A = this chain, B = another copy of it.
Amino acid sequence: MSITTNTAITLARRPVGPPQADDFRYTQTEIGAVGDGEVLCRTVYLSLDPYMRGRMNEGPSYVPPAGLREVMPGGAVSQVVESRYESLASGDFVMGYTGWQEYSVSPGAHLRKLDPDVAPISTALGVLGMPGMTAYVGLDEIGQPAAGETLVVTAATGAVGSVVGQIGKIKGCRVVGIAGSEEKCRYAQEELGFDACVSYRQADFSDSLKEACPDGVDVYWENVGGASFFAALGLLNDHARIPLCGMISYYNLTELPQVPDPTPRILRTLLVRRVKLSGFIVFDHQAREQEFLREMGSWVRDNRVRYREDIVDGLDNAVDAFTGLLQGRNFGKQLIRVSPDPTRG
């Protein structure tokens, strides 16, 4: 059977506030010929990540925005259907930025071959992929957690935060998570081994965080912004470090609330406490990928770093899962199973 049609999700219009179903369009297209050096792949898992919301906006960022009427960009794990690239063969599994679609044709050189015997192929989008590497490199380069220090991590059960916290434990830190529910907090403590976890939805959030950090905060990993940022700000120790990785609480903002200007407080704290705050994007650090795969791979094999996946079946459900991700409805790394995973029974 020759495959001729592809279903893809394109960006129909740029969202204002939370993305709506009408911001996306399901399109059917013909699959073109596979050119020299190219590979036709069937998507198995599509990764949904908070950064995608930023790419839906117009205007400059660290990468160009997603194009209107173009396939939504994103990382995916796929299986090769037809290859005209010498290092890949039909049946191989690969990871690549092939987008929100069932099938993709792309240069083989842009794909990374996966070995399903080393780790489940889905992990190439999570703990052994971009989110895991974000945690690994960002913590090492900016957070620099030392044994005995207190590390606070936001979005604590998410794809990045869960790895940040577990590396913190490996490094000998007291690790305190911030998450969006009691259930997530229980998971962070019982499964991930965090010392404490506080829900940002509870009324006494700021006081609870303070209680959980009796020795203050040495590393504050920022995925979220907003109330978490200000709660942590008041707890920072001298020479604290803030890896600034995301700010999911702002991504759907359409209007800025009127507030007493927080800038003096922010800058005063960072100055008086001699804090180092650094924006961080993993793409700047590709040179460390092999080292990351080696060390994180061994941690995952030894069960020192655990992961949880939130798998939704069907590309039809991608938009709904994505809007849920931006509200924290997911529990673990958000994946769409676009087609059956042949490596799982």
Any B CB within 8 A of the CB of A345: no
Interface centre among A250, A274, A277 (most CB of B within 10 A): A277
Cβ of A238 and Cβ of B270 under 8 Å apart? no
Q: Which residue of B lies closest to A226 (CB)?
A: B263
A154 to chain B minimum Cβ distance, whole angstroms, is 12
Contact of A244 among B225, B226, B271 (CB under 8 A): B271
Determine the residue in chain B with the shortest Cβ distance to A255.
B260
A182 to chain B, nearest CB (A): 27
Give the number of copies in the complex: 2
Residues of B within 8 A of A281 (CB): 271-272, 274
Given A61-B272, A271-B245, A272-B62; A258-B256 close (CB under 8 Å) = no
Q: Which A residues fall within an 8 A CB radius of B?
A: 61-62, 222, 225-226, 229, 238, 244-247, 250, 253, 255-264, 266-268, 270-281, 284
- In whole angstroms, how far apart are the Cα atoms of A246 and B264 in the complex? 11
Residue of B nearest to A259 (CB): B261
Q: Given that A62-B238, A238-B62, A258-B258 are contacting pairs, would A272 and B279 also be in contact in the complex, using a CB cutoff of 8 Å?
A: yes
Judging by beta carbons under 8 Å apart, are A271 and B284 in contact?
no
Decide: B275 and A271 in contact? CB cutoff 8 A: no
Distance between Cα atoms of A229 and B267 in the complex (Å): 10
* Cα–Cα distance between A310 and B62 once the two chains are bound (Å): 45
One of B244, B256, B275, B276 near A260 (C-beta < 8 A) = B256
Which residue in chain B gives the minimum CB-CB distance to A60? B272
In the complex, chain B residues whose CB is within 8 Å of the CB of A250: 263-264, 267-268
Query: Are A270's CB and B279's CB within 8 A?
Result: yes
CB distance from A59 to the nearest CB of B (A): 10
Partner of A261, one of B62, B256, B279: B256
A3 to B264, CA, bound (A): 46
18 A-B pairs with C-beta separation under 8 A: A62-B238, A225-B267, A229-B263, A244-B267, A247-B264, A253-B264, A256-B262, A258-B260, A258-B261, A259-B259, A259-B260, A266-B266, A270-B278, A272-B281, A274-B284, A276-B277, A277-B277, A277-B278
Using CB atoms, name the residue of chain B closest to A230. Answer: B263
In the complex the two chains form, is A222's CB within 8 Å of B278's CB? no
User: With A61-B272, A272-B279, A276-B278 in contact, is A222–B267 under 8 Å at CB?
Assistant: yes
Asked if residues A264 and B271 are in contact (CB atoms below 8 Å), the reply is: no
